[in-house]
Chains A and B, each alone.
Chain A
Amino acid sequence: MPQTLLQVEDLHTQFFTSRGVVRAVDGVTFHVDAGETLGVVGESGCGKTMTALSILRLVPDPGKITSGRILFRGREVTKMTDEEIRDFRGNDVAMIFQDPMTSLNPVTKIGRQIEEAMTAHERFTETLARGRVIELLKRVRVPAAESRVNDYPHQFSGGMRQRAMIAMGLSNEPSLLIADEPTTALDVTVQAQIIQLMKQLNRELGTAMMLITHNMALVASLCQRVVVMYAGRIVEEGPVEQIFNSPQHPYTWSLLRSVPRVDEARKDRLVSIRGLPPDLSNPPPGCKFHPRCPFVIDKCKTDPEPSLSEVGVNQVARCWVLMRNVTEEGVEAAKASALSKDAAAKLKAPVMEVEGNAGG
């Protein structure tokens, strides 16, 4: 039995705005085992970043964790004192952010910023930390690390900055590294390099990782398990191969169809999910995905959202329908309708909404 490192239980994080309460994270439960890599996927605005920031208690104003438990090695993060949470951050759990261009202090040398991450905790003395900076930069393959420690962030390219961020994240040898869309802001070629690096580091160091992304290729190559989030909720969770080969929630199915996959030659055209995720201050009743779901039935609109139920070995999903109950024709129809919409959008011609089992 692998040791559970992080256990998040029924986490609610809400923003109290003038427009009302935004339920950014709405009852999320998941865990990360020691050494494993968990993927967290979902479209923008689904609460991935806020889930991660909640773990470090860094939710920005006017947001707050309103309920739930966050257990790290059995310690309750939400109940830590200021000093405890300070020492927890960067030491037990480190985080790498989406945009390396803005995530480094522009007026402080790179080496100093990495060194500071270490001296903030007791693990390394100042002299030791200083020596370790170059070693860390080498480890994340920054060329000429000896001289580049004295560079400022503007002298680094985007990819190099993200390497520096990763070095900073790893500097205290945390048990868990949260990487929030670490490649989204980078060029495609640089993305591949960073993915390669993270893969190597994961193998070398055995640090557990929570990888937030909407890059399915990244999930496929790095993660063992995946959590799929939609509208502040987990809609499906399971081992990577199962999620990729037999997704049960229509949202997971749509997500997989909406992104390119590197591990298989695509016969189908790439399509995007129609519509947008809901406004989290005013989500739709029933299943929150139902207005966009190609397989929607009446029950989805009227009944309260179903709970996560076992749909395979270690795989759970939150759906009344489930993909395994959708017929071959139903799937083809959904593809066709998505395709025709996609084509229509390209022609900029108005089309009638065709719901459910159209075509066939």
Chain B
Amino acid sequence: MTAITSTRAGSLAIFIVRRILWMIPILFFVILITFTLMHLAPGSPWDKAGGRQLSDTVVNNLNIRYGLNKPVPQQFLLYITSVIHFDFGLSYQYQGKTVSNLLLESWPYTATIGVLAFLLIIPVGVGLGVLAALRQNTRIDYITMGFATVAASFPNFVIGALMVVAFSVLSYKATGGNFFLPAAGFGADDHLIMPVITLALLPIAYTARLTRASTLETIRQDFVRTAWAKGLPERLVVIRHILKNSLIPVVTTLGPTFAFLVTGSVIVETVFSIPGIGRAFVVAIESRDYPMILGTTVLFSLVIAVANLVVDVAYVFIDPRVRLT
């Protein structure tokens, strides 16, 4: 044991294993809370929108079939047992489909858009922030921060709708159908452009502002003055001394941002008619599809936990002051 912990790689491995084990109690409590809230919320899975409701006999039979007639604590234990066996149950609304299937169908759409948006954020958000900081109080700074403020203050659906109007409708008309972006659906590459941009805009704005603030703060540090006093060229002062320090807090936020992006945006998925997990989750909540709600929650929790773990591990590599505990 001591032989392993005495090396940095060894302690890193132990750190990762411990964090993964920690996910088990965290998931347990996430399920417990979701389960409780779900059952406390009014309504039942068999309520129908509009007038006609199912007869009591039918409801009873459904309850028996899905185990909803049992006491809630027992239902909880049964659910936990099946989750341990990686069984997330059957969906209520799509008869005969497993939750795992539904998640595997919808998540790839969401994840594709989310990952692409994430890949856009790093160069654009970080790049704009650095540029604005290095050219503080110049036109570049004002334009960048103006853009960030506007992007951060427009809701997603407005940006999405404006893009559809501009790049689908007007562009189609202006070019006689030669150039336009598809307004909906998923398939060809150009389907991705508008949803990815719509989704990425807000995180890009936030990342740019955070990067700018952090970089401005770093520029004033004593060690940056030391770097200049050594006679280092500007490029190296910026990369090795300013950015290496100022991007540390930015990396911290990239974990939650990644989790936010790949768990889907109902609005973006609705505006662009993408059959993603964000919409599926909302539909599941509306129709009280308990197994689907729980399955999605578990998936999201895992994504968040893993994203944070990756950030914490990355931290060890970028900041030597971080101690593994």
Contacts and interface: CB of A to CB of B under 8 A. Distances in A.
Contact of B231 (A60, A89, A106, A152): A89
B230 A168 contact: yes
B227 interface: yes
Interface in A60-105: 60, 86-91, 94-95, 97, 99, 102-105
Contacts of B245: 105-107
Nearest to A86: B231
Contacts of A219: none
Contact of B229 (A90, A99, A154): A90
**Chain B residues touching A, range:** 20 to 34
B244 interface: yes
B63 interface: no
A60 B229 CA distance: 12
B236 to A, nearest CB: 8
A89 B230 contact: yes
A116 to B, nearest CB: 7
A205 interface: no
B187 interface: no
B240 to A, nearest CB: 7
- If over half of A's interface residues share one DSSP class (helix, strand or loop), that class is named, otherwise mixed; here it is loop
Contacts of B221: 102
B223 A58 contact: no
B226 A107 contact: no
B231 A107 contact: no
B241 interface: yes
Contacts of B47: none
A121 interface: yes
A56 B223 contact: no
A120 interface: yes
Q: How large is the interface on A (under 10, 10 to 19, 20 to 34, 35 or more residues)?
A: 20 to 34
A105 B320 contact: no
Contacts, number: 78
A193 interface: no
Nearest to A98: B222
A95 B225 CA distance: 10
B319 interface: yes
B66 interface: no
A207 to B, nearest CB: 16
B143 interface: no
Interface string B224-239: 0111111111001000
A107 B318 contact: yes
A347 to B, nearest CB: 40
B306 to A, nearest CB: 25
Nearest to B318: A107
A107 B229 contact: no
B52 interface: no
A108 interface: yes
Nearest to B226: A103
A226 interface: no
Interface in A88-142: 88-91, 94-95, 97, 99, 102-108, 116-117, 120-121
Interface of A: 56, 58, 60, 86-91, 94-95, 97, 99, 102-108, 116-117, 120-121, 152, 154, 165, 168
15 contacts: A58-B225, A58-B229, A60-B220, A86-B233, A89-B228, A104-B223, A105-B240, A105-B245, A107-B321, A108-B241, A116-B236, A120-B230, A120-B231, A120-B232, A121-B231
Which are the 7 A-B pairs with shortest beta-carbon distances?
Answer: A90-B231, A89-B231, A102-B222, A90-B230, A117-B230, A152-B320, A105-B223
Given A91-B231, A116-B230, A121-B231, 10 more contacts: A88-B231, A89-B229, A89-B231, A94-B229, A97-B222, A99-B222, A102-B223, A106-B245, A120-B230, A152-B320
